[in-house]
Structure 1
Amino acid sequence: MSTSPFDRLGLEARRLARRLTPEALAEEAASLLDRPLRLGVTGLARSGKTVFTTAVARALLFPDRLPFLQARADGRLIGAELRRPGDPEIPRFAYETHLARLAGSDGEMPGWPASTRMLSQLRMGLRWKPAGMVDRRIRPVRELTLDIIDYPGEWLLDLALIERSFADWSAEALATLRQGPRAELARPFLARLETLDPAAPADDVTLAELGQGWSAHLIACRTAGLAVSRLGPGRFLVPGDLEGAPVLAFSPLPEPKGRVPSGSLYAVAAERFDQYRKRIVGRFFREHFARLDRQVVLVDLPGALSAGADAVEDLKLALTESLGAFRYGRGHGMIGRLLSGVRIDRVLFAATKADQVPAAQHARLDALMQSLVADAARAIRFEGAETRTLAIAAVKAAESVFAEHDGRNLACVRGRIAGRKRPSVVYPGELPADPAEALARAAGGGFDFPPFLPPEGLVRDGHGMAHIRLDQALDHLIGDRLG
């Protein structure tokens, strides 16, 4: 017997009524007060995730450099502390180790922390006084648990694989290998493929060889400054706890003509690709990404501009594809969470390393960032989440100066460069106001933003570290929860 639309509507209404009982709402209200706020630090490799997380923790512990964090400006922020991670299966973010590297220790000069190699979490507790008089009477001091989730940027590439087939990925990857400067780097891998018949019976030694060869090619591309966002998988670059696992023993292969024999190299590689996609990527997304409340997307725009227009376009494509896998919207109210579960309701797109760009051009860097993420931001806002873009430097390693050259007063940056004893003044090129013109200039090699090292004296007892707009970033990400 068929059911009418009105009958189905009535059935859904009764189901909803059972979920929205006073007991369920009371339980949800209690959980919202006690539940940690989970902030995901998202970004591709070398975007500055480890530095950002370290700087955020330091800034909240010593908030003297946070004038634009409203709770701090109002004098309502009482303080913060580091806490033990809530999930015993996730390693703790090594805050003290990273801070010591930034400060310089054991006679070493300050330097940048090592890139993230594993998933980690930093838990902090914040206390503040509510802004409203009524709220102060109900609870004069409030507390928030903040969980900051850090992970290798290479793993973000995997989100673009969730909906792809092995055949499509292989075809695109192999076509890419034969283009431009990548072709020379791909020669050893392609030569090995020439000796194989994808329809031949599979064996573990050959599959492991293919996986190692593909990993070596990806690493060679990244070392040469070539984009790898459309290739992946990310764990072939940073395997984490999957080092040597059979699920990483495959590579792109040309599709055999006709029927693909069961147990063939191609069939087993396709099976392992699907296992990787569903069991590794899918599980990681469900257990970590799908539980985020807030998200900061870090983008090394100065680095991409220095690498050329192709790198900027590749970065845009990688961000658009990967961000499409996240759940956005306003699901944090009592009813909203009961209906839709956890969703990300605030996103910050941050152009990192803004200190490499003269201060007068930061608005242009922000405009370029807006242009880069316009499609992704529009889709996220459509789902109901708030977005903002900012040009930031979580740790300020360089300062803006003017220098005269050939009778011109040029906007430059000054900082410490590896291998040099004294700070250097560098003219990185002028960033145009028009994002399209900036991309055109990048295509012609018009930019050279240097990777400065942290300055001496960056970490001082009882003080936060120098930064650019980190306080504004924090106000967007958690400011509303400190109201």
Structure 2
Amino acid sequence: MHIPTFRYDRAIEQLCGDPPTWPEPTNGISEVRLAIRYLSNNPLLKRMSPIKTLYVDIVDYPGEWLLDLPLLELSYEEWSEQIARLCEMEPRATLSQEWRTFLETVDLTSEAEDSTLRQISQLYTDFLYRCKEPQYNLSLLQPGRFTMPGEDLKGAPLLEFCPLLKIPEDYNDNSLYAEMKRRYESYKEHVVKKFYQAHFSSFDRQIIFADVLRAFNTGYASFVDMRDAINMVLKSFHYGKSGLINKFFGLKIDKMLFAATKADHVTPDQLSHLESFLQNMLATSHNNATFEGVSSETLALAAVKCTQAAHTTFQGKKMSCIKGMPIEGDKPIALFPGEVPIEVPMPEEWVEGRFHFMAFKPPRLANVHGSGLPHIRLDHALEFLLGDKF
């Protein structure tokens, strides 16, 4: 009762508005329970109770929070070293300059003061926000609550710490370094563990979403960062008995869906390429899950289809296109957004202009309650995730 309800009704109102708009992105946790009534095909169950009910609990939360899971296996020093290495490479080296420059002027062995802690953590948070800007589109941003704190932690002192570039050898318990370390450990215990224990303990099906097309538009560095972030999270899950998620939370996943989003932003003949690319991109994590006995599948999905398939003629040849309303325009356009590679291109092949996967406005919907939302392969996803329950 203490968890906000996912406002499906409000989202539908926005999608069905005039003009239609996309619902606000997830910035906190919410839940919804679906009750699905069905007729059983089992002869024995038909006699006892022909109509059965399947309850499906769906938990919605910012994807950024998943990035905190790997912290449970890292000491403060190990995490600091990991972030320091990332900041040696572009674009992080430039984006983190202000934070790193200020950090070099701070005596970490001096007595901890709230004003200094607040200033350092704010500079680090600003750096993370810069990493999220569209021209960089970086994904591996920890801690996840720094850029997506949720209403419960916004402005909390618990978020006033950051990684360090150098670890002091001598320090006392009242030092700035000691206080940063305490807050890091407290963050893991009271935020990360608490979140997973409260909401992950009963999960048995998992969906991993990846916006591959956005990484294509941004470039190779963005793609590598997204790939590393997803694989890092999935490595932490390790679905066997010795895995972190099982050890701490007793989570037993038996089905996992890898989903490439925005399938309506590519031409229909490219859907299989999008699925193959995602499968190759996450091959290690996919294989580890399969080895642990988890049934997995890869799909290209669009929860709300906002384009239509079209065709045009170019140099005498018929070419597949998509047609839709650009997010920044007021007239529909038809375009060929580009081919999706099956394998990851070499770094030098990520040339500017090779990919142009445009964002579109949602379609105008006249009778969503009667015909439902137009989608791509959402029925396939539901069959994989829930089909065996019927």
- Same structural fold, with TM-score higher than 0.5 when normalized by the shorter chain: yes
Establish whether residue 103 from structure 1 lines up as the match of residue 16 from structure 2: yes
Establish whether residue 253 from structure 1 lines up as the match of residue 164 from structure 2: yes
Shift of 1:304: 1.6
Match of 1:315 in 2: 226
> Aligned partners of 1:237, 1:152: CA distance in 2, in Å?
10
Opposite residue 188 of structure 1, the aligned amino acid is: E
Q: What SS does the corresponding residue of 1:322 show, helix, strand or coil?
A: helix
Establish whether residue 460 from structure 1 lines up as the match of residue 373 from structure 2: no
> Aligned partners of 2:289, 2:91: CA distance in 1, in Å?
35
Change (3 A) 1:313 1:178: closer
Match of 2:207 in 1: 296
Is residue 201–residue 265 contact of structure 1 (8 Å, CA) maintained in 2?
yes
Change (3 A) 1:290 1:439: farther
Q: For residues 205-284 of structure 1, what are the structure 2 equivalents within 5 Å? A: 205-240=115-150, 241-284=152-195
Larger Rg over CA atoms: 1
Is residue 102–residue 459 contact of structure 1 (8 Å, CA) maintained in 2?
no
Shift of 1:329: 6.7
% same residue: 36
Of the structure 1 ranges 130-139 and 273-282, higher mean CA displacement relative to structure 2 is found in 130-139
Is residue 441–residue 447 contact of structure 1 (8 Å, CA) maintained in 2?
no
The correspondence for 1:202, drawn from 109, 112, 117, is 112
Is residue 77–residue 167 contact of structure 2 (8 Å, CA) maintained in 1?
no
> Aligned partners of 1:419, 1:436: CA distance in 2, in Å?
30
Establish whether residue 477 from structure 1 lines up as the match of residue 390 from structure 2: no
With the length of structure 2 as denominator, give the TM-score of the two structures. 0.91
Opposite residue 53 of structure 2, the aligned amino acid is: E
Change (3 A) 1:414 1:249: same
Establish whether residue 411 from structure 1 lines up as the match of residue 324 from structure 2: no
Establish whether residue 167 from structure 1 lines up as the match of residue 71 from structure 2: no
Provide, for residues 331-369 of structure 1, a one-character-per-residue CA deviation record: whole Å limited to 9, x for no partner.
xxxxxx9xx955111111111100101101111111111
Opposite residue 144 of structure 2, the aligned amino acid is: G
Match of 1:426 in 2: 335
Q: For residues 432-451 of structure 1, what are the structure 2 equivalents within 5 Å? A: 432=341, 434-437=342-345, 441-442=349-350, 445-451=353-359
Match of 2:252 in 1: 343
Shift of 1:429: 1.2
Is residue 154–residue 238 contact of structure 1 (8 Å, CA) maintained in 2?
yes
**Please, which runs of 5 or more residues in structure 1 have no aligned partner?**
1-87, 331-336
Change (3 A) 1:113 1:458: farther
Match of 1:85 in 2: none
Count of aligned pairs between the two proteins: 383
Change (3 A) 1:440 1:381: farther
Change (3 A) 1:255 1:245: same
The correspondence for 2:23, drawn from 102, 105, 113, is 113
The correspondence for 1:140, drawn from 47, 50, 58, is 50
Provide, for residues 444-476 of structure 1, a one-character-per-residue CA deviation record: whole Å limited to 9, x for no partner.
552111111101126534121110000010001
> Aligned partners of 1:342, 1:119: CA distance in 2, in Å?
19
Establish whether residue 387 from structure 1 lines up as the match of residue 296 from structure 2: yes
Is residue 306–residue 361 contact of structure 2 (8 Å, CA) maintained in 1?
yes
Is residue 399–residue 413 contact of structure 1 (8 Å, CA) maintained in 2?
yes
Q: What SS does the corresponding residue of 1:396 show, helix, strand or coil?
A: coil
The CA RMSD measured in Å over matched residues stands at 2.3
Shift of 1:310: 2.5
Larger RCO (CA under 8 A, 6+ residues apart): 1
> Aligned partners of 2:157, 2:90: CA distance in 1, in Å?
32
Shift of 1:443: 5.5
Establish whether residue 94 from structure 1 lines up as the match of residue 7 from structure 2: yes
Change (3 A) 1:439 1:364: farther
Shift of 1:391: 0.8
Is residue 281–residue 344 contact of structure 2 (8 Å, CA) maintained in 1?
no
Establish whether residue 149 from structure 1 lines up as the match of residue 62 from structure 2: no
Establish whether residue 176 from structure 1 lines up as the match of residue 86 from structure 2: yes
> Aligned partners of 1:256, 1:442: CA distance in 2, in Å?
37
Match of 1:17 in 2: none
Q: For residues 314-333 of structure 1, what are the structure 2 equivalents within 5 Å? A: 314-326=225-237, 328=239
> Aligned partners of 1:281, 1:385: CA distance in 2, in Å?
24
Q: For residues 27-42 of structure 1, what are the structure 2 equivalents within 5 Å? A: none
> Aligned partners of 1:169, 1:255: CA distance in 2, in Å?
12
Change (3 A) 1:189 1:329: closer
Is residue 306–residue 442 contact of structure 1 (8 Å, CA) maintained in 2?
no
**Please, which runs of 5 or more residues in structure 2 have no aligned partner?**
none
